[in-house]
Amino acid sequence: MMMRISDLKTHFPTPDGIVRAVDTIDLSIRDTETFGLIGETGCGKTVLGLTIMRLLHPATTVEGEIIYKGQNLLEASEAEMRTIRGREIAIILQNPTTSLNPVMKVGEQIAEAIRLHQGLNKKDAAAKAVEMLDAVRIPSPSQRANEYPHEFSGGMKQRVMIAMGLACNPSFIIADEPTKGLDVTIKAQIVELMREMTERKAMLLITHDLSVARELCDRIALMYAGELVEYAPLKGIFESPLHPYTRGFLGSLPERGLVPIPGMSPSLIDFPDGCRFHPRCEHATEVCRREHPELVEFNAGHFVRCHHARS
Amino acid sequence: MTGVTVKDVLGSLGLGILVILVAVSIFAPQIAPYDPHDTYKPMEHPSSEHLLGTNDVGNDILSEVIYGTRVSLFIAFTVSITAIVIGTALGLIAGYSGGVLGFLIMRIVDIFLTIPRLVLIIVIAAFMPRSIWTIIVVFIIFGWVMTARIVRSEVLTLRSQYYVESARMLGGSDLYILWRHILPNVIPLVVVQFIMEASHVIIAEAGLSFLGLGDPVARSWGTTFHYAFECPNIITSDVWMWWMLPPGLCIVATVLGFTFVGYALEERLNPKLKTVVGMGV
Amino acid sequence: MKKQKTVITLVFAALICSAACMAFSVTALAEEDNVAATDGDRIVRSVGGEVGTSDWRYPAPFTFYPRGPGYVRMSMLFDTLTWKDANGVVPALANGWRVSDDGKTWTFYLNKDARWHDGEQFTADDVKFTFDYMKDYEGEFTWFEAIDYVDNVEIVDDYTVIVSLNEPMASFLVDIAGNMPILPEHIWSSVSDPTKFTGDDAVIGTGPMKLVEYNSAEGFYHYEANYDYYNGKLIVDEFITMGVSNAAASLKNGDVDEATFWGSAVDAVNEFVDDDDFEIITGPSFWVLQIIFNCDADKGYPTNNVTFRRAIAYGIDREEIVEQKLHGGGVAANTGILHPDAIWYNPDCEGYAYNVAEANAILDSLGFTEKVDGIRQYPSGAERSGDLKFVLYTTGKYLREGELIQAQLEKIGIKIELTPSDWTTIDSYLRDAEFDMVISGHGGIANPQIMRIPDWPASTYQSEEYTSTFAEQEVTLDFDDRKELVNQLQEMVAEDLPVYTLYHPYIWCVYNPDVLDTWFYTRDGICIGIPIELNKLIFLARYGDANENGKINMQDVTVIERMIMELDEPTDMADANKDETINMLDVTCVELTILGRAPIRCE
Amino acid sequence: MHYISKLTYYLVIILIILSINFFLPRAMPGDPLAYVLGENPDMPTRMTEEEREMRLAEYGLDKPLLEQYLNYMVGLSRGDLGCSIYYNTPVMDEILVRLKWTLLLTGTSTVIYMLLGIFLGAESAWARGKKKDTGSLITILTVSSFPTFFLGTLLAIFFAANLDLFPLGGARIIGASYANPFEKALDILHHLVLPAATLIIAHIGGTYLLMRNSMLSVLGADYILSARAKGLSERYIMNRHAIKNALLPVVTMAALTVQFMIIGTIFVEKVFAYPGVGNLLYDSVLRRDYPLLQGIFLFIAISVVIANFIADMTYLWLDPRVRDE
């Protein structure tokens, strides 16, 4: 087991109230497996990634456990975390355009992590950075390493982000929306690259794109309003989805007719009583409005949070 | 964590200062113990009769400073209100209509911003008759520039936003769109700008008066300070404590009041600065 | 630790940058010359007459700023034929002089020891050259106006010149001989644009000081002693006048050794009264503040009526103004303009003591009886109507006096609209007689010549009697006769009130006696009446006991003392002046004369 | 292209400033000749019409306005700013004599207040919401509310008049003889402390606030998160990632603050009787010395334009995105 997350709650204060971005999540990720975390924008999935990395604002309260290789990350000191970030666990942030420092050369941005974690000198780290750029198939990497981010196209920047994440050979990777905003061809290339690069690593793939998840993931979890509503192996989700939300999500795939889920995802400050999905659920009954359903194992390895789960 | 924040404390403190000062200037005749033009024995030290002593011609300094509040605030408010109105109007025109007019306005703005403002004001003030109206007019001439620039850029942003577009599609007149859609969005910025302008004028007027270019009859704080500074034994004796310090501190308090209010408002209005909590969400 | 490192780096960077700035400036500044003073040199630092403005332009004869402090800075370098000390006219480049009975021919016997700073000998040629040059460039020498009186200068021998005047000039010895700086012919004969001539050569004179450096930026004049000075031994090695931001504070912390204070600065002077480190001398400023009335027959109603002006004079409490504005640092002025400390002063001028009843009575008698809200109204049918209201112009400087007058005149029912303006504007109103009253001040009131136009810079006062009396005194050489005429002039002004004088401020010199203790005030002001204490004679050892070496037989001194005191016979050969009835300075002068150091004073 | 359009823009601005500079004083009331002789001469003198005309001709004030304008422009192209009426010397000479002092004062102060402001602003933003941040914010807002002349006077009263730690005014001991250049530098530095401290305290607020705000928005940027995700230390991130980005608006503002600095100099130089250009401006205002006033104004305005130009260039250097446009 690479990582076990139990009873995780991430809440942070804002002037409008407390945002419960992650509100009780349990999951575990095995060595070398790719775990997909799917949900709409604003369901809290990015926060989960940042919670694992402990990159949230100090005012955030985090409860529960994140056990990585036997160590509870939530109890690690900031100094320990710094040795884990980038070296053990890397995160490939969404939005490469804003996630790359505009006034720093690309090669340098990759090399600085290498210097830090692998103790290489400036020159060797720079060489390693060029290697990484080469590995993510950026043409003429030694020249590109001396360029600034604005000189790269969107797909290229995403490759840089991947190179940056993998530069120190981490054993666990969090990839947050790696294909967002890319056109179909580029997306396919990136997916291919991701698959190749993370073959023997554990990865948490955060995305709202089921097609990408289907390409890459071993298991998939669906997140809704801060909690997991269903998780199962790839096949289970795609062939026998149990939760109405999952079904709705699958229905929004292009080949299934692009039917959007009606309604809006709830604010993370003020959840509806009972099942958090019930205002948008066509099957909602009295019990759904009253009682918050528990996550139960419906089939072996297939968990669902629904009063009316059926196959 | 929706409790009292620093900006709230500073904001209310600033507001408090300003309210007191405005009250003092309105009720100056009631508050001041004497008419500032009445003369008593000159250069008296503070006593129960003259709490801050008397100046070189025997005016009660406390009364002079209290009446000075009127002059200083009058100049500050007159200038900043007028300058802001002009600046907002020109900014709206430049931003909304674009074209030759907008271009011209913005070039003028650029030039005005490049020319060292107070240096030119000093030069002009040196040649004009010394009266508060000269000062007011000269300050207005230079005061509208920054507002026009800020309003224009905000209008440009707003204009491209959908609701203005849709209002236009629905056939609203330009004036209606300006009035109904753009102006309300510009107001908060203008308020901050007003505050900054007012505090700038307070300092600049005091500076001009300090250099002896102010209105010698309407004694603002700067003028009182000027006379104190010219007093030959101001430094070598304790006289500065009751003659120089009070008008100086009044200037500081006013500027601080404006600064605090402006700071609190800006923090509230500028979402970028609002909070870094939950970055990445 | 890392944080500290950043701090240190930043501070270090700041230091380096400032060091670079410093280095730049210091290199630039190090190029300037410095006179290395040796230990024990006496260096005197003075504020030099006026605080606030420290620059009086380059101290060459045609470039100095034409006001007292400017002239004085030039006079350190250039001597005149005569000069003045605390008691009156003394010899300078001229040892002695003689005037013909018609008062039109002056013979000057020149000092044979005088040398120019560059070593050249001073001769009669230089004197003639200077008179001719001044006539040629009259317009350029803005300080000086009277050269027209001079007809020609004749060289008798190397050290004797005869100056012939077109008409007798009573004040010739002061206004021309004691005023015109004598120029070295060998330098100025080739100068055709004197106002642009500012090199080192332009400051070569015969004076007791040589110019080391003038710096317009820092506003200082740095002089060094001319040890070869012909007129006495120098007791000061270097002299500096400089600008400071606050004279009293600079005195206290030793930045300067001497400073001048005027009028209301009495408060600052009082700070030094109990301070043993400083001494104070008080002098007359020869300066007067006055109200100028519009006396113009056409435009001046009602101030062109002398009775009306008297009412205003009675309605103004000058003592209050002296008290309020000057804090006692002055006196209510002589209504006849000339300063009470001047030899020409007429003590019998009408004083117009503050008298509200008298003022009201006069105004009532003139028909200004009706009052609205306490303000008198013009009588019906007069040139003006409505409130008895006047515009009182002044610069910002005398605004406070204006406020006091405003309040005082309101008590007799006259409304004053106080209008501060700049001097240019006011002056244009004065020229055109488009004004009611103006507050304005001027100096030079030790010299009767100032009374040519009593309401200067306006000229609305017309009196033939006055004009002819003035012209008569100009050519009257006999002191007593002239004084009588000047007295009449003063009485006329006091009677007719073209101006109503308000006050004469005092002037003080506060100095550190350990550095220099020879400061004095000049009789009727330096030159034509400059009140400040920067008389170049302070640098000379003239006024100690000249006979300290005992070279003179004390009996000789006593004889002369007895002669001065008009005692009968020289029987008692003890010190005749033991009661100090005679001014010791006179005694010293006598001693010097006997020693042949400072020559005979003959008038 | 970018450089050329910028350069043209600044040249046009300079041309406009030159014209304003020429026409402005002439549009004002007041007769410069009246000020040649001052307000209270010890002996009254008033020029006759001929003398007046002679003087007017001497300074070229009698010619038609257009001719004066052309002469002015031609003169400027030769670096001739005219002759000061008061000093009767070339304006440029008078400015240059004082320039070194002003440069020393403003240069030293600018460097220190910029660095200090940037440093404190960055520190403050990094500690946002903590006591350190709030404390420095309130302190700096408060001291920035002091008008320069008030602050300078207070410093003079405390540190010069009462404690006698520093001189009351001036730029050096006049007439002093120094054993070596170091002693002289020390003397100059000693005189510099109070005026420079006044300018630094009065001006630090702007830079501090701007840096703090800029830093705060930078700290919310994704690339900072990205850097932290690499395991980099906070200090490293601040120095290598945040500051350079946060500096961009500060640099732009730096040019605009040059004029505030110059304005502050006028007051500081008056309070401390410092022999710089600011004092000269003040004196020439009092003396109504047109050519000198014009010269100084022109000089200051052009310095500000040049500062703007330098800021633009620095911006290009700092921000690769703009550089490639």
Check B233 against C265: CB less than 8 A apart.
yes
Q: Do C255 and D88 touch (CB under 8 A)?
A: no
Taking the Cβ of residue A106 and every Cβ of chain D, the question of whether any pair is shorter than 8 Å is answered with no
B·C CB contacts under 8 A: 66
For domain A3-80+206-304, give the CATH number. 3.40.50.300
Q: Would you call the peptide bond into C457 cis, given omega within 30 degrees of 0 as the criterion?
A: yes
A95 and D222: CB-CB below 8 Å?
yes
Of C28-32, C124-128, D301-305, the range with the highest mean pLDDT is: C124-128
- Residue D118 forms part of a structural domain: yes
In one letter, which amino acid is C160?
T
Note the pLDDT of residue A267.
81
User: Cβ of A82: how many Cβ atoms within 10 Å?
Assistant: 21
- The residues facing D99 across adjacent strands are none
Whether pLDDT at C603 is above 50: no
Give the separation between CA B122 and CA B119, rounded to whole angstroms.
5
Question: Smallest CA–CA separation between B110 and chain D, in Å?
Answer: 9
Range name among A178-182, B125-129, B225-229 with the lowest pLDDT average = B125-129
Q: Residue C596's pLDDT band (boundaries 50, 70, 90)? A: low
pLDDT at B53 over 80: yes
A42 contacts on B by Cβ (under 8 Å): 281
pLDDT 10s digits, A227-268 = 889 989 988 888 888 898 888 888 877 777 667 777 777 888
CB contact under 8 A, C252 and B58: no
DSSP H or E run through C205: none
Asked whether residue A69 carries a pLDDT value surpassing 70, the answer given is yes
Count, in order, helices (H) and strands (E) of chain D: 14, 0
Mean pLDDT of the B52-79 span: 91
Query: C331: Cβ–Cβ under 8 A, 6 or more apart, which residues?
Result: C322, C340, C503, C504, C506
Tokens 């609203």 correspond to B172
Q: Give me the CATH number covering residue C447.
A: 3.10.105.10
Give the end-to-end CA distance of chain D in Å, rounded to a whole number.
Answer: 9
Inspect the interface and report whether the beta carbons of A14 and B277 lie closer than 8 Å.
Answer: yes
The CA R_g of chain C, rounded to the nearest whole Å, is 28
Answer whether residue A177 shows pLDDT above 80. yes
Q: What is the mean pLDDT of residues C260-275?
A: 89
- C417 bridge partner residues: C391
Q: Is residue C282 part of a domain?
A: no
| Pairwise CA distance, residues A167 & C563, whole Å | 115
The answer, for B86 touching chain C at a CB cutoff of 8 Å, is no
In the predicted model, what is the mean pLDDT of residues A6-30? 86
Q: Which of B224-228, C63-67, D193-197 has the lowest mean pLDDT?
A: C63-67
Domains contained in chain C, number: 1
Inter-chain residue contact A13 with B281, CB threshold 8 Å: no
- Please state the φ and ψ torsions of residue B120, each to the nearest 5 degrees: -65, -40
Radius of gyration of chain A measured on its C-alpha atoms: 20
Please give the DSSP secondary-structure letter assigned to residue A75: G
Q: What is the pLDDT of residues B234-280, one digit of tens each?
A: 888 888 999 999 999 999 999 999 988 988 887 776 544 333 222 22
Q: What is the mean pLDDT of residues C82-95?
A: 86
Residue C142 counted as domain residue: no
**Domain limits, chain A:** 3-80+206-304
Q: Is C164 helix (H, G, I), strand (E, B) or coil?
A: strand
- Does residue C378 sit within a domain? yes
Residues in chain B: 281
Residue-number span of the structural domain to which C448 is assigned: 288-507
pLDDT for the residue numbered D89: 82
Amino acid of residue B264: A
- Cβ–Cβ under 8 Å, residues D248 and D161: no
Q: What is the residue-wise DSSP string for D280-299? A: HHHHHHHTT-HHHHHHHHHH
pLDDT in tens, C294-339: 998 888 888 889 999 999 999 999 999 998 888 889 999 999 999 9
Task: Using CB atoms, pick whichever of C14, C220, C423 lies closest to residue D34.
Answer: C423
Q: Tell which of B60, B131, B233 to mutate to test the C interface (max C CBs under 10 Å).
A: B233
CA-nearest residue to A49 within chain B is B280
Which among C272, C220, C262 has a CA at the least distance from the CA of C507? C262
**Has residue B125 got a pLDDT over 60?**
yes
Query: What b/e string do you get for C258-282 counting C-beta neighbours within 10 Å, with b at 16 or more?
Result: bbbbbbbbbbbbbbbeeeeebbeee
Asked if residue D124 lies in contact with residue D295, where contact means CB atoms within 8 angstroms, the answer is no
Give the distance from residue C445's alpha carbon to the nearest chain D alpha carbon, in angstroms: 8
pLDDT confidence of residue C183: 95
For chain B, which chains pass the contact test of at least 3 CB pairs under 8 Å?
A, C, D
Res. C554 pLDDT band, cuts 50 70 90 = low
Which is nearest to D40 in space by CA: B211, A274, A123, C457?
A: C457
Q: What is the mean pLDDT of residues C382-390?
A: 86
Residue-level pLDDT at A211: 85
Q: Tell me what the mean pLDDT of segment C341-362 comes to.
A: 91
**Higher-confidence position of D251 and C568:** D251
> CA A94 to CA A207: how far, in whole Å?
10
Domain B6-33+45-275 in this protein, CATH class = mainly alpha
Tokens, residue D313: 């260039």
pLDDT at A125 over 60: yes
On the 0-12 / 13-18 / 19+ scale of CB atoms within 10 A, C550 is: exposed
Beta pairing, strands C389-394 & C437-442: parallel
Q: What is the pLDDT of residue D168?
A: 87
- What's the 3-state SS for chain B? CCCCCHHHHHHHHHHHHHHHHHHHHHCHHHHCCCCCCCCCCCCCCCCCCCCCCECCCCCEHHHHHHHHHHHHHHHHHHHHHHHHHHHHHHHHHHHHHCHHHHHHHHHHHHHHHHCCHHHHHHHHHHHCCCCHHHHHHHHHHHHHHHHHHHHHHHHHHHHCCHHHHHHHHCCCCHHHHHHHHHHHHHHHHHHHHHHHHHHHHHHHHHHHHHCCCCCCCCCCHHHHHHHHHHCCCCCCCCHHHHHCHHHHHHHHHHHHHHHHHHHHHHHHHCHHHHCCCCCCC
**C327 and B56: CB-CB below 8 Å?**
yes
Cα of A19 to nearest chain B Cα, Å: 9
Query: Could you tell me which residue, C549 or C445, shows the higher pLDDT?
Result: C445
* Residue A32 pLDDT level (bands cut at 50, 70, 90): confident
Contact C511, C239 (CB under 8 A): no
Distances from the Cα of D325 to the Cα of A101, A145, D136, D299, angstroms: 18, 20, 39, 32
Say whether the peptide bond before residue A241 is cis (omega within 30 degrees of 0). no
CATH number, residue D116? 1.10.3720.10
Q: Are the beta carbons of C184 and C197 closer than 8 angstroms?
A: no
Token readout for D192 is 């510099």
* Average pLDDT rounded to a whole number, residues B225-231: 89
What percentage of chain B carries pLDDT values higher than 90? 33
A58 to chain D, any CB pair closer than 8 A? The answer is: no
In chain A, what residues touch B2 (CB-CB under 8 Å)? 13, 15, 17
Which has more pLDDT, C6 or C472? C472
Query: Does ipTM come in above 0.85?
Result: no
Distance separating the N- and C-terminal Cα atoms of chain C: 87
Strand partners, A202: A172
Judged by a CB distance cut-off of 8 A, whether residue D42 touches chain A is no
Q: Which of D37, D261, D268 is nearest to D149 (CA)?
A: D268
Q: What are the residues whose beta carbons fall under 8 Å from the beta carbon of C224, sequence distance 6 or more?
A: C35, C209, C210, C212, C237, C238, C239
Mean pLDDT of the C447-469 span: 88
What are the φ and ψ backbone dihedral angles of C70, each rounded to 5 degrees? -70, -45
Residue of chain A nearest B268, judged by CA positions: A15
DSSP result, C266-312 = HHHHHHHHT-TT-EEEEEE---EEEEEE---TTT-TTTTSHHHHHHH
Domain that holds residue D203: 94-276
What are the phi and psi torsion angles at B205 (to 5°)? -65, -45
C209-215 and C220-225 as β-strands: parallel, antiparallel, unpaired?
antiparallel
Residue B280 is predicted with a pLDDT of 22
Tokens coding B113: 């911003």
Q: How many CB atoms lie within 10 A of CB B216?
A: 23
Q: How far apart are CA C396 and CA C422, in angstroms?
A: 8
Question: C418 phi and psi, to 5 degrees?
Answer: -80, 120
Contact yes or no, A with C (3+ CB pairs under 8 Å): no
| Residue from D17, D199, D37 nearest D110 by CA | D199
B100 in contact with A, Cβ within 8 Å? no
Span A147-172, average pLDDT: 88
Structure tokens at B272: 């970028």
Evaluated on CA atoms A126, A128, A130, A136, the torsion sign reads negative
Of C3, C246, C286, the CB nearest to D235: C3
- pLDDT per residue, tens digit, chain D (325 aa), is 566 777 888 888 888 888 887 777 666 655 545 444 444 333 334 556 676 677 677 666 677 778 888 888 888 888 787 777 778 788 888 898 888 899 999 989 988 998 999 999 988 888 877 888 889 988 998 888 899 999 999 999 999 888 888 988 888 888 887 888 888 889 999 999 999 999 999 889 888 988 888 888 888 888 888 888 888 888 888 888 888 888 888 877 777 677 788 888 999 999 998 999 998 988 887 777 777 887 888 888 888 888 888 877 777 777 777 666 5
Residue A70: exposure state from Cβ atoms within 10 A (0-12, 13-18, ≥19): exposed
In a domain, C276, yes or no: no
| A287: Cβ contacts below 8 Å, ≥ 6 apart | A274, A307
CA distance B276 to B273: 8
Question: For a pLDDT cut of 70, what percent of chain C falls above it?
Answer: 82
Domain annotation covers residue C582: no
Tell me which DSSP letter residue C54 carries: -
- Using CA atoms, how far residue B38 sits from B35, B59, C406, D147, in Å, is 5, 6, 11, 29
